[in-house]
Amino acid sequence: MTLPSHAAIVIIGGGIIGCSTAFHLARDHKADVILLEQEALTSGSTWHAAGLVGQLRSSASITRVLKYSVDLYKDLEHQTGVATGWKMAGCLRLATNRDRWTEFRRLATTAGSFGMDMHLLSPEEVKALWPLMEVGDLVGASFLPTDGQASPSDITQSLAKGARMHGAKIFEHVRVTGFDLQDGRIHKVRTTMGDIACETVVNCAGQWARQVGAMAGVNVPLQPVKHQYIITERLPGLAVDAPTVRDPDRRTYFKEEVGGLVMGGYEPNPQAWTTGDVPADWAFRLFDDDYDHFEQHMVEAIARVPALENVGVRQMINGAESFTPDGNFILGAAPECRNMFVGAGFNAFGIASGGGAGWVLAQWIIDGEAPLDLWSVDIRRFSDLHRDRQWVLDRTLEAYGKHYAITFPHEEYESGRPRIVSPLYDRLKGRGAVFGSKLGWERPNWFAPQGVAARDVYSMVRQNWFTAVNSEHRHVREAVGIFDQSSFAKYEMRGPDAVKALDWICANDISKPAGRITYTQLLNSRGGIAADLTVARLSEDAFYIVTGTGFRTHDLGWIADHIPAGSDVTLHDVTEEYGVLSLMGPKARTVLAAVTDADVSNAGFPFGHVREIAIAGHTVRALRITYVGELGWELHMPMDALIDVFDVLMKTGTSSDIRPVGYRALESLRLEKGYRAWGADITPNDTPFEAGLGWAVKLREKGDFLGRSALEAAKGQPQRKAFVGFTVDDPNIVLLGRETILRNGEPVGYLTSGGYGDTIGKGIGYGYVCRSEGVDDAFLKDGVYELVVAMERTPATIHLEPLYDPLGLRVRS
């Protein structure tokens, strides 16, 4: 066998993801593709996967990816002539308690928002669908008829044949041994059969993806975990078209196979494999059967399906599956290497994801940007924290153990904490701070009043922090609050071409004089919002860029990727160099004026400006900007100055009743003001004009910028969706996002975020109202609105303006 010496695209890994990516690159894009597999196709995890195919996720885009998989599997045999074993029998999810039932009611609402028909069934209806099941403990079940099951090996072989039919070349028994890199790009793939020059490498190496990535300096934070299931002998009375079953309260799943059952589960005490390298010879190997560890699933399975007690076990599968620290898979362009893409870490739902993941990854490779809002699976959601293998192991095992746990709103992970703390951590903890974690940073979510336990108590209704957060909210509106926002991601761009580079990258005009701040979106080629941040001009050729904590790797990578070639600029991440205290509220100026000699009057320090001022003997970069809709400043300072500045503000602010405030109050404050949150309200699927942010786009100017052509092409066309707000009067309604919006009784969209505003005393939700013929203010105002919350309709009032706007400010979200 002789390998070609060159290919445009080299895919590493012949599991379902690699074969699907090759298939879509070849079929849809006529790309020059080579796929390399170190053993034989389906090796690794694919060959022993259970093959359940579910579709619904909390993200509309990821749900679309999984729905695409189903549509592809239905038709793939027709395209290739190779059967896939696809069977659309539907999926039952069982609820045995009220919290689970509320979760399912919310999931059914989400399904309706995404155009899927999920049914809620009584125990009697479940029994009729699955007669062998014990249903006495059930509250009910959800049923999604379009879910199903398939043969992982058959699907993969069918995709491989389809890829070959469209010109892709597949080579088995070829192992990648390294890469030749120049200027941050891979130029050659080194293999046991010779070198291949290429333009792009796609790392779909499954359990080996971390090792393959490491050869190019790329971190792929996945962890192999042992996952067991059994295949039983024939089970009398089991229908061949029986729906698959997920029994999350018993942590088990079932599917019919050749008259018997495949049964497995997700235990709370999972067993990791190695934190070192996965052996190259593990392609078709399994671990020894471990019935002692599996017994917990057997007990629960027999309680659910009593007939299992008298049926033999034909085979136990104990194989390694790749899991990730947050339970989401990994796709996209690696930030460390300009031409490596990754598709790995599928958390035991690689078969469900495979078809769609290959589709979007292929498009991403060709276009250089994601075709949908794929933020929840983007490899750039990780940071250097995720290079710590022990941390990844601990967090991944926690995520695995929660695979079937009830998904309570606002629930935090507990492992690996605290990891990154502000210098104020102990001071804030001493004041009752209850911390959350974002990209490793400990951040105060709320402050427990005296006599209240400083911990979250999770619930499907109002949680234990609700009253305390309302109090913090009111305090910022009426007096002054101080937020520790040191976790903000911060970058500095400097150089003679800095203005030119940012003028191309940013949708808003950043060429204002030094001392000015610009709120701007960064757009993709479709005009969608790829990032949302502020740019402060420090001098003629120096800019300070601030964005959200979780977007640190993503936004830095986006900016770096789009700096025009040949630009004389430097871009540095300075996140750990600067601490941030946000001083917000009507008394903020009183406090600030008492600790600095600088002029902080409205005339001396207007909104949207940045100044260097002195506080407690330290130079502070003060940005007059707000995310809460009140007078205020973000005070950026060297991290080692944070304690001094905090202490003097707290001491001086005593007469103004200053108090520390957490991120949950920040969220409710921004909801009242109508500020958008990237990743929820604004995404790569949304343009600034659809999001009501057209005022922040420089279309009136002549210069070009990324995304301009797409926005101009849309001018004169009907705007098919519009971002609006809603309030509900019922105090018992909890809005979280994904609730369906009804206009005159018909679905027109869903909420992208939700919460409660204490100033207005109502639940608040935001989302897009959609109509193919176009949406304008007259259409919006003319409707009667309801929201579907946990499958119940509640009246809602639409709002086209901010709910709280005392200052009339427009700022970054």
Residue 807: pLDDT band with limits 50, 70, 90: low
- Look up the pTM and report it: 0.96
Side-chain-side CA neighbours of 110 within 13 Å: the count stands at 24
pLDDT at 18: 98
The confidence score (pLDDT) of residue 808 equals 55
Would you state the pLDDT for residue 806? 65
Q: Average of pLDDT values for 661-683? A: 97
For the chain, what are the domain ranges? 6-84+150-222+326-381, 578-656
Triad 489, 493, 498: Cα angle to 5°:
145
Looking at residue 287, the DSSP 8-state letter turns out to be P
Roughly what angle, to the nearest 10 degrees, separates helices 350-367 and 60-80? Answer: 100
Question: By the 8 A CB rule, do 284 and 233 touch?
Answer: no
Greater pLDDT, 81 or 806:
81
Is pLDDT at 323 greater than 70 in this prediction?
yes
Task: Work out the pLDDT band at 697, boundaries 50, 70, 90.
Answer: very high
The rounded Cα 455 to chain-centroid distance in angstroms is: 25
Measured distance between the N- and C-terminal CA atoms of the chain, rounded to whole angstroms:
56
DSSP string, 87-150: B---EEEEE-SHHHHHHHHHHHHHHHHTT---EEE-HHHHHHH-TTS--TT-SEEEEETT-EE-
Instruction: For domain 578-656, say whether CATH 3.90.1150.10 is its number.
Output: no
Of 145-159, 208-222, 347-361, the range with the highest mean pLDDT is 208-222
39-58 residue pLDDT tens:
999 998 888 888 888 888 88
Band of pLDDT at residue 490, cut at 50, 70 and 90: very high
Does the structure show a pLDDT above 60 at 813?
no
Residue 104: its pLDDT value, please? 96
Q: What pLDDT, on a 0 to 100 scale, did the predictor assign at position 300?
A: 98
Give the pLDDT mean for 34-40. 97
Rounded mean pLDDT, 387-395:
97
Mean per-residue pLDDT for 396-410?
96
Q: What is the mean pLDDT of residues 85-104?
A: 95
Q: What is the mean pLDDT of residues 583-609?
A: 98
CB neighbours of residue 695 within 10 Å: 10
pLDDT in tens, 699-720: 988 899 999 999 999 988 999 9
Judged against a pLDDT cut of 70, whether residue 811 lies above it is answered with no
Provide mean pLDDT across the span 365-392: 97
Quick one: pLDDT band at residue 805, thresholds 50, 70, 90? confident
- Tokens representing 37 are 């597999």
Q: Kindly state the percentage of the chain with pLDDT values over 90.
A: 93
- Residue 540's pLDDT is 97
Average pLDDT over residues 400-419: 96
pLDDT band for 812, please (50, 70, 90 cuts): very low
Residue type, 432: G
Q: Tell me what the mean pLDDT of segment 530-538 comes to.
A: 98
DSSP string of 159-170, one letter each residue: HHHHHHHTT-EE
Rounded Cα–Cα distance for residues 369 and 524 (Å) = 7
Residues 23-40, mean pLDDT to the nearest whole number: 97
The superfamily (CATH) of domain 6-84+150-222+326-381 is FAD/NAD(P)-binding domain (3.50.50.60)
**Residue 733 pLDDT exceeds 90:** yes
Question: Could you tell me where the DSSP H helices lie in 402-465?
Answer: 425-430
Computed over every residue of the chain, the mean pLDDT equals 96
